[in-house]
Amino acid sequence: MNKWQDVFSSSMVKTIDEYSWAISSMNLFPQWATEYWCKWIWKHGSEFTPVELLQKSLFSSFFFRPCSLPPMITLLYMQIWSGIHMAYYLFHQDINSAYSFMSGMSGMSMEFAKTLNTIPVCEAGQGDWKCHHCLGRTVKGTVHVCMICSNPVSNWTKYV
C-alpha cells in the first residue's frame, strides 16, 4: 500500500492539528505551503468544492495569476491542484473519492487549464523578487515562484 493510503486509512481527523499532521505526512503540498492550505481547507472545506477552494484562495491568485498575462500550468500548480483534492477528501473522510481521483489523474490537463483561467488576477504590486534558494537569482515580478527550485521567492508573504 502507498504511504498516502496508509495515512488516509488510519486518520480520523477530529482537530486541525490531527488534520495538519496527516496532510504533512502525505506530503500533499510543498512544506512552505502546507500550513496555509491546511487552515484554508479546514475553514472552508465544508462550503466549497476542491476547485472552488483553489479559485477563491488568495494563495492561488498570488502564485498562479500574478498578472494579466495568460497563466501557465506549472509543476507547483499541478501539485497544489492534486494536494487540494486529496486534502479535501481527507477532510471529508472520503477514501472512495480519493481512489477515484488518483486513478483518473491521467486525463486532467484540460481541467487544469480550465480552472487556472478562472483564478482571479492578483492585484498586489509587481516588482523584482530574489530567490534565496538559488543564491539570490533575480526573478521578474510577474513570477513569485522560482522556476529552477520551485520555492517561493523572498518577501512573497507580504501580500498573502
129 and 82 share one domain:
no
Same domain, 46 and 85: yes
| Structural contact between residues 142 and 66, judged by C-beta atoms closer than 8 angstroms | yes
> What's the longest Cα–Cα distance across the chain?
46
Same domain, residue pair 55 and 18? yes
Q: Which domain holds residue 130?
A: 125-160
In this predicted structure, what is the pLDDT of residue 150? Answer: 73
**Does residue 96 sit in the same domain as residue 140?**
no
Whether residue 86 sits in one domain with residue 150: no
* Euclidean distance between CA atoms 99 and 158, whole angstroms: 37
Q: Are residues 35 and 109 in the same domain?
A: yes
> Cell 486513478 maps to which residue?
103
pLDDT at 157: 44
- Which of 20-24, 85-89, 112-116, 119-123 shows the highest mean pLDDT? 85-89
Tens of pLDDT, residues 44-92: 999 999 999 999 998 888 788 877 778 888 888 889 999 999 999 989 9
Q: Which long-range contacts (CB under 8 A, 24 or more apart) does 28-37 make?
A: 28/82, 28/83, 28/86, 28/87, 29/79, 29/80, 29/83, 29/87, 30/76, 30/79, 30/150, 30/151, 32/151, 32/152, 33/59, 33/80, 36/160, 37/80, 37/83, 37/84, 37/87
Residue 132 confidence (pLDDT) above 90: no
Are both 11 and 58 inside the same structural domain? yes
Domain count, the chain: 2
pLDDT at 160 over 50: no
pLDDT confidence of 37, banded at 50, 70, 90?
very high
Q: Does 100 lie in the same domain as 24?
A: yes
Same domain, 71 and 92: yes
Write the CA distances from 18 to 21, 29, 46, 97, integer angstroms.
Answer: 5, 16, 17, 21
What predicted TM-score, i.e. pTM, was given to this entire model?
A: 0.74
Write down the mean pLDDT value for the chain.
78
- Same domain flag for 33 and 60: yes
Residue 127: pLDDT band with limits 50, 70, 90: very low
- The answer on 74 and 151 residing in a single domain is no
Residues 31 and 102 in one domain: yes
